[in-house]
């Protein structure tokens, strides 16, 4: 770690940025969807299954497509009650997904009805029981992992959103960071995680992802996943992968050691 830039200060600043960057109107932050699509996925009271379906769909496609998908399903089904969705035919699922623009549309035709089936069988049609009162963050992540198509990244992302954006109170152990390329890059540049220069590329990537998860636990043991949102947003906003980072604009600029960033390569410098 770089001398003179204490890890604790960088972690605190990261958390402060995360808290200041939440969606002011409440509900899910960081998605760019129309108001009625947002209202549906934010309605955990009446339609908690909308949130679950959007989380499952949020991979390998633009997030606005994933988080608008429940609205498209509602329009196709003329409603969004759980029993309405359970009664949708395969042709209806295929039709709505084919026009959704989702890159994994054919996979979603299988995964989303399967998710509805799982919510029906396991939770009696009430998806909010996944995050029932008294649950730990780890238990809720484990329940998300029971959905076909959900891996560790989506499971941790879903639980972190529930805590962060919806104020769902969960007990310890809290969820891990959702490992993501933006988050990994920002951790490395902030000097929170050293790079690996090992000989086997594939195992190096896997190890570095695990190291990121472990590092977040070290830095913020009370809730490792709290570091996920601010690091992701910094990566998306300023700390680019394919072009020079915009350090002069970045919230972390005052403390960031810019590890691995060539001094001549910052935009605007
Ligand atoms: S100051 Fe620059 S290198 Fe550091 S996190 Fe921000 S954009 Fe990335």
Q: What is the mean pLDDT of residues 243-260?
A: 96
The pLDDT tens digits for 153-187 are 999 999 999 999 999 999 999 999 999 999 999 99
Judge residue 99's burial from the number of C-beta atoms within 10 Å of its C-beta, 0-12 exposed, 13-18 middle, 19 or more buried.
Answer: exposed
Under a CB-based contact definition with an 8 Å cutoff, are residues 187 and 231 in contact? yes
Q: Helix, strand, or coil here: 128? A: helix
Which atom of ligand 1 is least distant from the CA of 189? 3
Residue ranges of the chain assigned to CATH 1.10.1670.10: 7-21+176-265
The pLDDT tens digits for 61-109 are 999 999 999 999 999 999 999 999 999 999 999 999 999 999 999 999 9
Q: Is the pLDDT of residue 1 over 50?
A: no
Q: What is the mean pLDDT of residues 191-216?
A: 89
Q: Is the pLDDT of residue 119 over 80?
A: yes
pLDDT tier at 198, thresholds 50, 70, 90: confident
Ligand 1 proximity of 50 Cβ (cutoff 6 Å): no
Structure confidence at residue 4 (pLDDT): 46
Structure confidence at residue 211 (pLDDT): 96
Q: What is the mean pLDDT of residues 201-210?
A: 85
Neighbours of 130 (CB within 10 A): 24
Ligand 1 proximity of 33 Cβ (cutoff 6 Å): no
Q: Is the pLDDT of residue 217 over 70?
A: yes
Report residue 97 as tokens: 């997904």
Ligand 1 proximity of 67 Cβ (cutoff 6 Å): no
Residue ranges of the chain assigned to CATH 1.10.340.30: 35-166
The pLDDT tens digits for 221-246 are 999 999 999 999 999 999 999 899 99
**Which CATH class for the 35-166 domain?**
mainly alpha
Higher pLDDT, 264 or 170: 170
Structure confidence at residue 5 (pLDDT): 54
Structure confidence at residue 267 (pLDDT): 66
- CA 36 to ligand 1 center in whole angstroms: 35
Which atom of ligand 1 is least distant from the CA of 259? 3
Structure confidence at residue 264 (pLDDT): 65
The CATH code that applies to domain 7-21+176-265 is 1.10.1670.10
State residue 254 phi and psi, 5-degree precision: -70, -25
Please enumerate in sequence order all residues whose Cβ is within 8 A of that of 149, keeping only pairs 6 or more positions apart, or say none: 56, 107, 111, 114, 115
The pLDDT tens digits for 15-59 are 999 999 998 788 999 999 999 999 999 999 999 999 999 999 999
Under a CB-based contact definition with an 8 Å cutoff, are residues 150 and 56 in contact? yes
What angle do helix axes 48-57 and 63-77 make, rounded to 10 degrees?
130
């Amino acid at each position: 770690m770089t001398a003179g830039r204490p890890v604790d200060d960088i972690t605190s600043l990261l958390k402060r940025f995360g808290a200041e960057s939440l969606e002011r109107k409440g509900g899910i932050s960081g998605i760019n969807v129309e108001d009625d699509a947002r209202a549906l996925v934010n309605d955990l009271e009446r339609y908690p299954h909308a949130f679950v379906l959007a989380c499952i769909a949020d991979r390998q496609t633009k997030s606005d497509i994933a988080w608008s998908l429940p609205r498209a399903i509602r329009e196709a089904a003329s409603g969004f009650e759980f029993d309405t969705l359970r009664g949708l035919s395969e042709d209806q699922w295929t039709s709505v997904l084919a026009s959704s623009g989702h890159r994994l549309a054919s996979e979603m035709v299988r995964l989303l009805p399967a998710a509805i089936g799982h919510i029906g069988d396991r939770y009696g049609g009430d998806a909010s029981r996944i995050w029932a009162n008294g649950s730990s963050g780890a238990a809720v992540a484990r329940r998300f992992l029971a959905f076909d198509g959900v891996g560790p990244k989506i499971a941790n992302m879903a639980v972190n959103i529930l805590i962060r954006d919806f104020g769902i109170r969960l007990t310890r152990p809290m969820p891990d960071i959702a490992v993501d390329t933006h988050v990994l890059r920002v951790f490395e540049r902030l000097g929170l995680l050293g790079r690996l220069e090992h000989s086997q590329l594939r195992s190096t990537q896997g190890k570095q992802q695990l190291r990121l998860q472990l590092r977040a636990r070290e830095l913020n043991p009370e809730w490792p996943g709290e570091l996920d949102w601010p690091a992701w947003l910094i990566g998306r906003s300023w700390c680019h992968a394919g072009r020079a980072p915009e350090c002069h604009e970045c919230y972390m600029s005052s403390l960031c050691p810019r590890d691995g960033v060539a001094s001549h390569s910052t935009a605007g410098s």
